[in-house]
Amino acid sequence: MSIKNYLAVDLGATSGRTIVASYDGTKVEMNELTRFKNPMIPLGGHLFWDLPALYNEIITAIKKTVDEGIKIESIGIDTWGCDFAFFGKDGQLLSLPYCYRDPHTDGAIDRYMKMHDKREVYDKTGIQFMDFNSLFQLDTLRHNGCTAFEHADKILFIPDALIYMLTGKAICEYTVASTSQMLNPNTGDLDKDLLMSIGLKREQFGPMTQPGTVIGSLTEQIREQTGIGEDVKVVAIAAHDTASAVAAVPAEDEEFAYLSCGTWSLMGIESKVPIITDESFRQNFTNEGGIEGTTRFLKNICGLWLFEQSRKEFKDVPEEIGPLTALCETTNFASIINPDDPSFAHPVSMTKAIDEYCEKTGQIAPKTPAEYIRCIYKSLAHRYTTIINLLQEMSPHPIKRLHVIGGGSKNKHLMQFTADALGMPVICGPTEGTALGNVLLQIKSEGLVKTLPEMRAIVANSVELKEYYPSNK
C-alpha cells in the first residue's frame, strides 16, 4: 500500500504536541511536528485551561502540514480526563474550562455524599473516588453558582470540545467519558440519575461515541484559514490519553499489567468486563473504558508530578534530565513517602511537603536534591508494588510482567527500582504510546486494521523495547 499520513494531537496536563505519523502497512513512523506548553492559567482565584490557545495550536499544526506539503488523511485528539468545557446555544465557548487541580473541589466528595450513598455511586460507575472527578467538579460549580454551568447548552469533555470547535459536531467519546464518574459501564452511557443529582440532563452532552469513529470534516472556515483544501476527516480516537496509550501496549497475551508513567502514574490491567466488587470499592480502584469493549481496571497514582514540582526548587543541579535523575545513585537515602497522600496534590512547596511527611511519619527528611530524587523514585516503586499486589488479588488472570509506556519509561533509574521492587520483568516502550495509540485508532477508522491484536503487532514492528529485570541489589 502507499504510505498514508495522520496527524495526532496529544495534549497533556503540562504540555502538548502534534505528530505526523506515516503508515506503510506494517509499521508506523512518527515525527514531531510542533510542541508547546499547556500551562494552568491562574485567574480570579481559580485555575483554568486556555482552550482557545490549544485550538489555535491545532490550527498552527494543520497549517504546517500544508506548508511542508504533507497530505494528512485524518486528525485525532487525545487529552487528560475529567475536565470539560461549557458552550452556549449559539455554539460559543462560555468560559475557560476549570483545571482539575483547582482546589475548589477540595472536600467535594464529602459534600456530595451527604445527600448520596457512596457505594451506590461506585456500583453505578466503578470509578475511583477523587475530588476532581467530573461529577464532583460539576457539583462544585453548581454549588458555587457558576454562571457558565447555569447557561450551558452543551457540556463537552476537553477532546470532544476541540472536535466540536474543529467540526461543529458535538460528541461524547466513550473512553474520556468513562473518567467522569458519570458513565455506567454496564449500560455504556451516562447515568441519568447521577446527572439529575447535579441538576443536568443527558441532552447537554453529545451522543456516546466509540473510539475509531469518523466524526466529520474540518469546517469551511478552518479549511480557508489553513489552506488545507482536502476533505480531512476528524476521528474520535480513544480520546483519554491513557486509553490510547494502553491500546499501544505491545503485549502478546493478557498476563500483564501496564503502567502509564508520566505526571500521573496509572497502573492497571486490561479486563473483558468491569470489576466492581467489595474489594475494588474498598481499595478505590477504577474501571475506565478501553477499545473493543475492554475495561481498563486501574489505580491513579500521583506520579512524576512529585519530581517535576521538586525539580523547580533545586539549585546548582544539572538541567539535563539524564544527569539530574542520575543523582539518585549517589546516595543510599532510605525514607519512603506515600505519593498518594493528599499533602502532595498541590502544595506551595513540594520539597517542604516531603519534609513534613517524613517528619510526621518518624523518618529522616531529605536534605539534598539527590536525596529528594531517590526518595521520590524509591517511593514510586514501593507504591507500584503495593498496587500490583492488589491487582494480583482481583485480576481474573495472573500478572507475570509489567509493561511501562509514556515518558517515564525512559527513566532507567526509576525502571530498575521498579523491577527490583516488583520482582518481575519490566518492559518499557513505546515511549510515545499515547500518540501511537491515537494514530492506530485513526488507521483502524479507515478499516486498514480490524482488531486490537493487529494494532499491537504494528506497535511491535514500530518501536524498540527496553527490558529491566530484578537485580541482586
Which residue numbers are catalytic?
241
Quickly list DSSP for 336-383.
Answer: ---TTSGGGSS-S-HHHHHHHHHHHTT-PPP-SHHHHHHHHHHHHHHH
- At which residue does the C-alpha cell 474550562 appear? 97
User: Which cell numbers hold the place of 459?
Assistant: 506497535
Please check whether residue 5 is in contact with residue 15, taking contact to mean a CB–CB distance below 8 angstroms.
Answer: no
Instruction: Residue 301: name the closest of 128, 126, 122, 100 by CA.
Output: 128
Gap between the Cα atoms of 245 and 454, Å rounded: 15
Query: How many of the other CB atoms lie within 10 Å of CB of 37?
Result: 10
Per-residue b or e along 423-439, where b marks 16 or more CB atoms closer than 10 Å to that residue's CB: ebebbbbbbbbbbbbbb
- Residue pair 421/275 in contact by the 8 Å Cβ criterion: no
Side chain identity, residue 399: I
Three-class DSSP labels, 45-67: CEEECCHHHHHHHHHHHHHHHHH
Give the Å distances, CA to CA, from 391 to 128, 275, 278, 306, 431: 14, 11, 14, 24, 24
* Radius of gyration of the chain from its Cα atoms, rounded to whole angstroms: 22
Cβ partners under 8 Å of residue 352, min gap 6: none
DSSP 439-473: HHHHHHHTTS--SHHHHHHHHHHH---EEE-----
User: For the stretch 80-92, what's the b/e string if a residue is b when 16 or more beta carbons lie within 10 angstroms of its beta carbon?
Assistant: bbbbbbbbeeeee
Phi and psi angles of residue 387, each rounded to the nearest 5 degrees, phi first: -70, -40
Give the 3-state secondary structure of residue 215. strand
Is residue 456 within 8 Å of residue 292, measured between CB atoms? no
Q: Rounded to an integer, what distance in angstroms lies between the CA atom of residue 203 and that of residue 156? A: 11
